[in-house]
Amino acid sequence: MLSFFFMPICIFLNEVSLSFATFIKKMIVAILKKHMFLLTSLIVMSQVHAQSPHDARGYISEVGDQVPNLELKMIDSTTLSLYDLKGKVVVLQFTASWCSVCRTEMPHLETEVWLPNKDDEFVLIGIDIDKDANKVIPFIESMHITYPVAYDADKSHFYNFASEQAGVTRNIVIDQEMNIVFQTRLFDPVEFDEMKKVISALLH
């Protein structure tokens, strides 16, 4: 008699337990899916960042990177291979005729970097990113600089070091083993003086 009375209650409790267990299982699955989505998103974001590294100044190159062997077309119609300069300290200065900061910096590069060091194992090369190559030589002549200058109308050299949205002026200091040791952006006198110290230390 008692078993007849308690049997429906047991069945009811068993069904409730199963329903509760099913509910808990669904909750756990939902939570795991949510966390898996977040984890996957973080992994993708980290991979994108790793493939497109850049700092706040627009650089994608970093100190310690080895530079590629650029084939530079110079404004005097010669061609220069960057790796032919191995054993020398090299500064690449990216510039353009429309860049007012470049115009401010270039006389300092001429008098404070190029002229004092050009007789040592040192080379300073301007790389002009003007789309119109006809503007380059008049621009260089107007600046009264004597260091060599190369064309980079399609920015193919520039994009080895900076993102597509990045601007000029910027200097890349390269040691005797073709490794980047210093990078500048715009013309900050404090940073410029630090660059000169780095160059001097490499040369002496």
The DSSP line for 61-111 is --TTPBPP--EEEETTS-EEEGGGGTTSEEEEEEE-TT-HHHHHHHHHIII
Same domain flag for 90 and 183:
yes
Same domain flag for 98 and 169:
yes
What's the total number of domains in the chain?
2
pLDDT at 94 (0 to 100): 98
Cα 99 from Cα 135, distance rounded (Å)? 13
13 within some domain: yes
pLDDT at 23 (0 to 100): 67
Look up the domain containing 107 and give its range: 71-203
Same domain flag for 101 and 177:
yes
59 within some domain: no
39 CB burial (10 A radius; 0-12, 13-18, 19+):
exposed
CATH number at residue 110: 3.40.30.10
pLDDT block averages, 10 residues each, the chain of length 204: 53 57 67 53 39 70 97 97 97 97 98 96 97 95 97 96 93 98 96 98 96
**Cβ burial 108-119 (10 Å sphere, 16+ → b, else e):** ebbeebbeebee
pLDDT at 56 (0 to 100): 79
Same domain flag for 187 and 93:
yes
Same domain flag for 88 and 155:
yes
The model's pTM = 0.73
41 within some domain: yes
Element housing 31 (H / E): helix 2-51
128 within some domain: yes
60 within some domain: no
36 within some domain: yes
Same domain flag for 29 and 94:
no
Same domain flag for 38 and 75:
no
Q: Among all chains, which residue has been given the structure tokens 């300092």?
A: 108
Same domain flag for 195 and 110:
yes
